[in-house]
Amino acid sequence: MPSAAAITQTVNSYLRHLAEGATDQIVSLYTADATIEDPIGADVLRGHDAIRAFYAAIQDAKKDTELAEIRVGGNEAAFLWHLTLDAGDSRTRISPISVMTFDDDAKVASMRAFWSPSDVRVL
């Protein structure tokens, strides 16, 4: 089982790479057969190709991420974070609660993001 420190490091790397638009680095944090359900209720994506396509869709957007809180238990983490998108004349913020499970190497085996359109705020 990965340590809490290793899991926290993966979450921080995930948020940093997301802000940078570093799609390949994000994909490298996931296991080969990982799943994403973002937001909850959306189709579940599986594997590196689907994960790459998911993140590539927003890689060029100007954005910032901020970790608000994280809780690690066993091989899972739940964390509240903020994604701020800057479109020049407008800024919006989404504050998902993401839940990730990890393999023994602290790679993401699954990610589920709890948010809905009503959680999007114009700043």
- The pLDDT assigned to 88 comes to 82
How much is the mean pLDDT over the chain?
A: 96
Indicate if 14 belongs to the active site.
Answer: yes
User: Is the domain covering 4-122 a CATH 3.30.365.10 domain?
Assistant: no
From 24, 30, 33, 38, the catalytic residue: 38
Q: What is the DSSP string of 55-93?
A: HHTTTTSEEEEEEEEEEEETTEEEEEEEEEEE-SS-EEE
Give the model confidence (pLDDT) of 34-47 as tens digits: 999 999 999 999 99
Structure tokens at 83: 């994604």
pLDDT tens digits along 51-91: 999 999 999 999 999 999 999 999 999 999 999 999 888 89
The continuous run of DSSP H or E covering 5 comes out as helix 4-20
- Asked if 104 is an active-site residue, the reply is no
Distance CA 18, CA 27 (A): 10
pLDDT on residue 33: 98
